[in-house]
Amino acid sequence: MAPFAIPPKLSHRLVAQMPWLDAVAAKMHAFYEPFLGQDKPRALRDALYGVWLGRPFHPAVVVLPLGMWTASLALDATDQREAADLTLLLGLVSAAAAAATGAAQWQDTYKQEKPRRIGALHAMLNGAGTVLYGASYAQRRRGKRASGVALAATGYAVVSAASWLGGDLSYDLGVGVNNTAFEKAPDEWTDVLAESDLPEKSAKRVDADGAPVMLYKLDGEILAISPTCSHLSGPLEEGEFDGDTVSCPWHKSVFCLRDGAVLHGPATAPQPAYDVRVDGGRVLVKAHAD
């Protein structure tokens, strides 16, 4: 008997049949690059990523237009016209922030086909939905209420489909999640390496009872954090080191080697950090004491 096979998710099958999304994604990437490129000023990017919040900002912002438009739909159904129009307008205003934070989060998936395509389709649907809501508001202002309500209902269906794709981006493909969430650092001192095998200003990836650890020696002191970038799993041991910081080689997130803190995004979750001691020429690590 053939083993049971789980079919690919609908969204994956859908974008697999849409290779033209690659061209759309390339144009989107080129449009965002002057603002969100890895060599562009950090302040705007960090703000949009949510570094200051300690978690991705996009999920926190995207509930605003969706919530407002849901309220507008319910208010239309009960013929509360002024409130329906106001919540629709507030949804339009907040949609700009949702688009900006989503673009920042998507920009770094350019080498990943599925997130790239699904994200492009997600953005296109959200854009179409927003245009429909804009047209709905214009019709309402002209006194054409019936067509305004119909356009809003269509817009709601479109942004709902976009939200479904957004859920797959996060929960299925891991865009925006903490990629170190399930690492289990040892609670007891664990021998990982001979100190003599770690030269000054060099990094080495080791195993601590099943948990990956990156060791780095700086001025005789050994610092240790997880080598798996919390953003999209880049190998930090291959990154650029500057004093007690490391920059991810993939998307340039910057972390402190002493406590794993995020200094610059796109990462928003800190790296698991380790306490280190040297005993008898051997390097021992354990989970960092909070």
Which pLDDT score is estimated for 5?
55
- Tell me which amino acid residue 26 is: A
The answer, yes or no, to whether the previous bond of 266 is cis (omega within 30 of 0) is yes
Q: CA 115 to CA 276: how far, in whole Å?
A: 37
In a domain, 178, yes or no: no
**Is residue 87's pLDDT more than 90?**
yes
**Is 264 found in the same domain as 154?**
no
Alpha carbon distance 259, 27 (integer Å): 39
Q: Is the pLDDT of residue 1 over 50?
A: no
User: Who contacts 234 (Cβ-Cβ below 8 Å, separation ≥6)?
Assistant: 228, 248, 249, 250, 251, 253
Only one residue has tokens 């240790």, namely 224
Distance (Å, whole) CA 68 – CA 83: 10
Residues 132 and 32 in one domain: yes
> Is residue 136 located within the same domain as residue 204?
no
Same-domain check for residues 153 and 196? no
| pLDDT category of residue 104 using cuts at 50, 70 and 90 | very high
Residue 46 lies in a domain: yes
Contact 280, 180 (CB under 8 A): no
Q: How many domains does the chain have?
A: 2
Q: Which of 170, 165, 181 is nearest to 128 (CA)?
A: 165
What's the domain range around 263? 190-287
Instruction: Check pLDDT > 90 for residue 49.
Output: yes
Residues 201 and 136 in one domain: no
**What confidence score (pLDDT) does residue 40 get?**
87
Whether residue 181 lies inside any domain: the answer is no
Quick check: 190 pLDDT over 90?
Answer: yes
User: What CATH number corresponds to the domain at position 283?
Assistant: 2.102.10.10
- Say yes or no: 22 and 52 in one domain: yes
The pLDDT of residue 182 is: 93
Q: Residue 198 is encoded by which pair of tokens? A: 């770690």
Average pLDDT over residues 149-171: 95
pLDDT number for residue 110:
76
Let me know if residue 4 belongs to a domain.
no
pLDDT tier at 4, thresholds 50, 70, 90: low
Q: Which of 268, 52, 282, 218 is nearest to 260 (CA)?
A: 268
Let me know whether 96 and 167 are in one domain: yes
Q: Indicate if 216 and 106 belong to the same structural domain.
A: no
90, 130: one domain: yes
pTM score: 0.87
In a domain, 148, yes or no: yes
Model confidence at 3: pLDDT above 70: no
pLDDT at res. 77: 97
Question: Where does a domain end: 114, 138, 172?
Answer: 172
Please tell me whether residues 139 and 215 are part of one structural domain. no
Q: Are residues 126 and 244 in the same domain?
A: no
Residues of the chain with pLDDT > 90, as a percent, come to 87
Q: For 62-82, what is each residue's pLDDT tens digit?
A: 999 999 999 999 999 999 999
Tell me the per-residue pLDDT of 206-236, one tens digit each, with 9 for 90 and over. 999 999 999 999 999 999 999 999 999 999 9
Q: Which one has a higher pLDDT value, 290 or 47?
A: 47
Q: Would you say residue 2 has pLDDT above 80?
A: no
Which of 281, 283, 153, 148 shows the shortest CA–CA distance to 214? 283
- State whether 202 and 119 are in the same domain: no
pLDDT band at 12 (very low <50, low <70, confident <90, very high): confident
Among the residues of the chain, which ranges form H helices? Answer: 10-16, 21-36, 42-49, 58-77, 81-107, 113-141, 145-167
Asked if residue 203 is part of any domain, the answer here is yes
Name the pLDDT band for 113 (thresholds 50, 70, 90): confident
For residue 7, name the pLDDT band (cuts at 50, 70, 90): low
Query: For residue 76, which phi and psi values (nearest 5 degrees)?
Result: -60, -40
Across all residues in the chain, what is the average pLDDT? Answer: 94
